Amino acid sequence: MNSPIVLEQWYPIVMSKRTREELEEEEIEEPKESKPRRSEADVRNEHIDEGAILIEFEPHPNASKQVITWWRGMEKYGFKVSDDGCLIPHKQYWGSKGGKEEKKTRPSCRSLSSQFFNDKVADRDRSPNNEGWPCTETYSHLCHVWNCASGEHIHVEEQWKNVKRNYCGLQDKCNCSNKTKCIRMYHNSFWDWKFNYLDYDTPKLKYKIQKLMPDYKFKILPKNHYINEDLKRSNRTLRKKKDKSQNKK
């Protein structure tokens, strides 16, 4: 009689957060000197140089003004677009930011994407079902890429369904038995995805992105789309520094 397959032998689940032992073993680094704050233009241009594309998407009709404002702020830095549809924003938007109260916190890119594209918010207050399975709603990445913000890849579902996806792909295909299928096989958060990214030099760029995100309208902006806005901000900053210097005299 064949022994049952232990899934952990195939795909051990590695937590995205480091363990206490790993943290305790790390050498304590000396505090580094604070660097001058970089301008929005510098951060954007660096991201574009790394392959990001400036894309302006059309929001869901019911998306709130606050969600649209947050999303537009993220859009200004561009997205890295993989040839299989992942939409990776600038790293400052991978997690949430702000106070403890939800209304004061800018959501992570996955939550923001779900609200902007699909007008769906995960219900965090749902109780377990009769079998004790966790039914709190989560944002599942069908692509298994935790910092992806594609509306096609973010799916709101109960936690127990999300956890099943961590064992998906043992036969190199989606076999987690969820109704909404995974886009690719599972790897943990430490996996180094070898993406092929589209960029401004990609032939038929808009057509290829539209094929990857057929349900959403968008337009591709030129690299220098924000140049006038950047110049105004730069001049305003210089005036403030000049006024501040004169006031000290």
In a structure prediction context, what are the per-residue pLDDT tens digits for the chain, which is 249 residues long?
444 444 333 333 344 444 444 444 444 444 555 567 788 999 999 999 999 999 999 999 999 999 999 999 999 999 999 999 999 999 999 988 765 544 557 899 999 999 999 999 999 888 888 888 889 999 999 998 999 999 999 999 999 988 888 888 766 678 888 888 888 888 877 778 888 999 999 999 999 999 999 999 999 999 999 999 988 888 887 787 776 776 766
Phi, psi of 55 (to 5 degrees): -130, 135
Query: Can you give the residue ranges of every domain in the chain?
Result: 39-242
Q: What's the rounded Cα separation, in Å, for the pair 194 and 61?
A: 35
Burial of 166 per CB tally in 10 Å (0-12, 13-18, 19+): middle
What's the token pair of residue 173?
């295909």
Residue 179 identity (one-letter amino acid): K
Burial of 29 per CB tally in 10 Å (0-12, 13-18, 19+): exposed
